[in-house]
Structure 1
């Protein structure tokens, strides 16, 4: 008999976190689940820990494969998922015991193709809930799914621009469950991070949401997102991030062209490109980048003078920002390398002290 929910967990060298993650999955109030653990060529004790856990709980299915990255692991999980709904969990995170019962119940009641919850960021010493500033439950149907959710996944417009930290808050796959047929019927897969650098979640969701006729947001933080893992995919220095993000933008633009979406979708992508100068800058000044200050500034000068980025800033509305962000993005717009660099240093310092 097929399970109600398949939960896919990509695993690579996370022996410190596996027990915490799987304990939260094994103790779900919804018992009708399968847990697909995709070991992506781990070289630590991850696989042996998985085998011990699988002996305790037959719902755990282990797939052992050569290392190919998180997208490859998730895609392998998708090929083996048999549930009516599919969810994703990262192995250094954990979930509330009611998460999958609550989300699947809402999906069944609302006949929803995708259900999303909010989440809590876990920093080791403290926690912070992501505040979406929305009611307890919001339902989007038919064209609303495209105009509200799909467009937001592409990028922010109007007042949304004022909060750069929300750029990809809607784009995570681990905060959602998907009706399996949405994924399977449309042959949805994750793009390789070696090609696009990051945001494989958002790109996957852009395609999934396009094919969805109903989307429900539940304002309960069922998911715990661990931010203290320095070895995760989202930490570290990526030397070719700009080139990879341009490939990401090209995928999004091709998608917009293919489906002949409205002008505001292109404005949203334009705004994403501008706001992503923050990510490019923080990546450049990362402590993991051992280059000199002079070389870091040269890298910043390179991407601020890129024709695509310069063109995007010509149409970028700075009036929506608070004074601090307005100054920051103005420095990017006028290509003030020194000012941009030292503002980044200040932002990075604040991130560490206020997070």
Structure 2
């Protein structure tokens, strides 16, 4: 018998967190599932921990491979998955015991292609729920799904640009349950992070939501997103990120052209690229970048002059931004790298001290 849900867990050097993650999956109230855990060439004891769990629990399918990145690991999981639905969990995170019960029952009741729940950010000393200003059990179908959720995945518009940290709040794969046939029939896969640097979740979701006809959002925080993993790909300095984001933007532009998505979709992408100035800037000033302050400011100047960023900032409408972000984007638009550096330094300090 095929399981109702296949849960895909990509694993790389998470020996401190893996047991917590797997225990939370095994203790679910929903029991008809398989866990496809892919050890992506870990150099710590993650592989051994996984094998011990697989010996004791028939639900776990352990796969070991050479390191090739999270996208490759997830794609291997998709190939192996046999469930009616597919979910993703990152190996340093955990879930509430009723998460998949709630997502599955909602998907079946509403005949939804995709169901999403909200989540809690875990900082070790405290927790903070990600707030979505959407009613619980909100269903989107057909054109409304495209103009609201697909468009939001591509980028924010109007008042949505007022909080840049919500840029990819909708784009995660680990807060969702997908109908398996939606992914497999359309041959959808994750793009290698070596190509695009980040946002592989969002790019995958853009493709999935384009083919979906129904989606339900549950404003219930059932997933726990661990923010303290220093080995996470989101916590390191990436020297190639500007070039990789250029590739990401080109892929999104090609997608919009091929699907003939114009108008508000184009505006959304322009806004995404403009707001990504924040992420690119924080990457540049990060402690992992050992360059001098002068060289970091020069690097920021190069970012502001890059093709996609320069063009998008020229079109970016700041009217809905609060004063702090208006100041930030003023420096970015005018390519005042020193002012941008000072603001980024302040933002990074606040991110670490006020969570």
Q: TM-score, normalised by structure 1?
A: 0.99
Q: Which residue of 2 aligns with 1:105?
A: 105
In the other structure, the counterpart of 1:175 is 175
Other-structure match for 1:129: 129
Match of residue 38 from structure 1: 38
SS of 2:234's equivalent in the other structure is: coil
Q: Give the whole-Å Cα distance in 1 for the aligned partners of 2:130 and 2:83.
A: 29
Counterpart CA distance in 2 for 1:233 and 1:310 is 26
In 1, distance between residues paired with 2:9 and 2:337?
Answer: 41
Distance 1:334 1:2 in 2: 57
2:87 aligned with 1:116: no
User: Structure 2 length as normaliser, TM-score?
Assistant: 0.99
2:121 alignment partner, SS class: strand
State the alpha-carbon separation in 1 of the partners of residues 290 and 125 from structure 2: 28
Matches within 5 A, 1:1-355: 1-355=1-355
Structure 1, residues 288-338: CA drift from partner, whole Å, max 9, x if none?
111111110110010112232222112111110111111011110111111
Gap regions ≥5 residues in structure 1? none
Cα shift at 1:32: 0.1
Structure 2 SS opposite 1:216 = strand
Helix, strand or coil: the match of 2:206?
helix
CA distance in 2, matches of 1:133, 1:178: 22
Q: Which runs of 4+ in 1 moved over 6 A?
A: none
Mapped to 2, the partners of 1:261 and 1:337 lie a distance apart of 34
Any idea what SS the aligned residue of 1:320 has? coil
Distance 1:27 1:70 in 2: 25
The answer to whether the Cα contact below 8 Å between 2:162 and 2:320 also exists between their aligned partners in 1 is yes
SS at match of 1:318: coil
Provide the C-alpha distance between the structure 2 equivalents of 1:68 and 1:220, rounded to a whole number of angstroms. Answer: 34
Q: Give the whole-Å Cα distance in 2 for the aligned partners of 1:116 and 1:318.
A: 30
Number of residues of Structure 1 aligned to a counterpart in Structure 2:
355
CA distance in 2, matches of 1:353, 1:159: 27
SS at match of 1:161: helix
Q: Please, what is the CA RMSD of the aligned residues?
A: 0.7
Per-residue CA deviations over 1:254-274 (Å, capped at 9, x if unaligned) read 110001012111111000010
| 3-state DSSP of counterpart to 1:255 | helix
- The answer to whether the Cα contact below 8 Å between 2:192 and 2:200 also exists between their aligned partners in 1 is yes
- Distance in 1 (CA, whole Å) between partners of 2:52 and 2:170 is 35
